[in-house]
Structure 1
Amino acid sequence: MHAVIVSNGFPPSKELLEEELKSADLIIGADGGGNTLLSHGHDLHVVIGDMDSFKKPKDPDFEIIKDTDQETNDLEKALSLAVYRDAETCTVLGAFGRRMDHSLKNLSVLKRFDSAFNHLLFKDERLSARLISSAYSGNLPIGSIISLFPLSGKVTGITTKGLKYPLNNEILENGERDGTSNENVEEEFSIEIDSGDLVVFLEN
């Protein structure tokens, strides 16, 4: 089962939202993300969060779950619900953009929940973010943006193939060296790491 979660960051466009919802079996609004879904006239299954942003309609035809736990943010609540309802894959829209601190927090959320799904992707209009802990291979038009971010502070043994600025058993570390704004010179490319958590941002 595939879940789509809309969070309350910078809202996805109508076009991106419609494209992602085509394959959704479970549609969740993470608090204010429910407003985005409703504003575009989309059906949804549930809104979950502390309800400090969601504008509840008069007669909702979907489930509303109020969870006031302040140890987790609304996206964490939505992802936990998706896991509980047996989603195997999940795409999150609106995870970034409105507040810098929320965006950084949601990268931490990506790490926390990545192992709970067969495939977890955070996506906006330009880029998609995924976590890799061993290897990843992809296929994109030549010249696409591919940025590497060492989420765990230090990622070792990084080897890439098909990228403009290659890495050969090298280290990326926060505050020392990162891999922002690389790009592929071959349609097929690959990234391997030995240890750490690497977020890979790919151009859609």
Structure 2
Amino acid sequence: MKGIILCNGLPPKAPLLRMHLEEAQLFIAADGGGNTARDLGHQPDLVIGDLDSFRPSQDDDFEVIKDTDQETNDLEKALELAAKRSVSHAVVLGVTGQRIDQTLKNLSVLKSFNDQFDTLVFEDNFGTMFLLPRSYSAELTEGTTVSLFPLSGRVEGIHTQGLKYPLRDESLENGIRDGSSNRVISSPIEITYRTGDLLIFVGRDETQDEF
């Protein structure tokens, strides 16, 4: 089952949200994400969070769950609920932008919840982020931006194929070396690695003018 979680960061463009909602069986707004949903002309199935940002309206027709636990942020609360309601493929929107500390926290949440879903993807108006499995292959348009980041410390034994700047049994490490702003030169691209947590960012296809 596919679920959409909308957070209170930089709002997704309306066509991006609409595209995912057409495929989703559950739409969760994380606290202030409920305001964003309303602003974009949609009602979530429910809103969950400590409700310090959500503005209720008399026209709301959905469940609201208040969770005041300060050990978890609103995204964690939403992901926990999505997992309990049998979501296997989760797409999180509105998860970047605004406060940088919250964006960094959400990347930590991505790592901690990744194994609870078949796929867990962060998406914004510029592209898609997710943790790579040990072996990954994808058909991507030539010229697409691909960035690789070691999410926690060091990632070793990285091999890439189809990128302008290849890696051959090499390492990336926080504060020392990352793999930002690479480009697809042939497809499919292939990425493998031995150890660590490797985050990929795939830039949005610039031919998709609707986004």
Same fold (TM over 0.5): yes
Structure 2: distance between partners of 1:104 and 1:135: 25
Partner of 2:79: 79
Q: Is the 8 A contact 1:3 1:27 kept in 2?
A: yes
Partner-residue secondary structure (3-state), 1:115 = helix
Partner of 1:27: 27
- 1:186 CA drift (Å): 0.4
- 1:187 CA drift (Å): 2.1
- 1:139 CA drift (Å): 1.0
Using structure 2 for the length normalisation, give the TM-score. Answer: 0.95
* Residues 63-74 of structure 1: pairs in structure 2 closer than 5 A: 63-74=63-74
Partner of 1:115: 115
Runs of 4+ in 1 over 6 A off after TM superposition: none
Q: Is the 8 A contact 2:43 2:60 kept in 1?
A: no
The one-letter amino acid paired with 1:194 is: R
Partner of 1:37: 37
Structure 1: distance between partners of 2:143 and 2:63: 43
Structure 1: distance between partners of 2:128 and 2:53: 25
- 1:43 CA drift (Å): 2.6
Using structure 1 for the length normalisation, give the TM-score. Answer: 0.98
Q: Is the 8 A contact 1:136 1:190 kept in 2?
A: yes
- 1:60 CA drift (Å): 2.5
Partner of 1:102: 102
Q: Cα RMSD between the aligned structures?
A: 0.8
Structure 1: distance between partners of 2:182 and 2:111: 22
Structure 1: distance between partners of 2:132 and 2:53: 32
Partner of 1:4: 4
- 1:133 CA drift (Å): 4.1
User: Identity across aligned pairs (percent)?
Assistant: 52
Unaligned runs of 5+ in 1: none
Structure 1: distance between partners of 2:105 and 2:190: 27
Bigger mean CA deviation after superposition, 152-161 or 130-139: 130-139
Q: Is the 8 A contact 1:133 1:196 kept in 2?
A: no
The one-letter amino acid paired with 1:107 is: L
Partner of 2:207: none
Cα deviations by residue, 1:132-163 (Å, 9 ceiling, x for unpaired): 24121111110100000000110000000111
- 1:59 CA drift (Å): 4.5
Q: Is the 8 A contact 1:151 1:198 kept in 2?
A: yes
The one-letter amino acid paired with 2:72 is: T
The one-letter amino acid paired with 1:51 is: L
The one-letter amino acid paired with 1:53 is: S
Unaligned runs of 5+ in 2: 205-211
Partner-residue secondary structure (3-state), 2:168 = coil
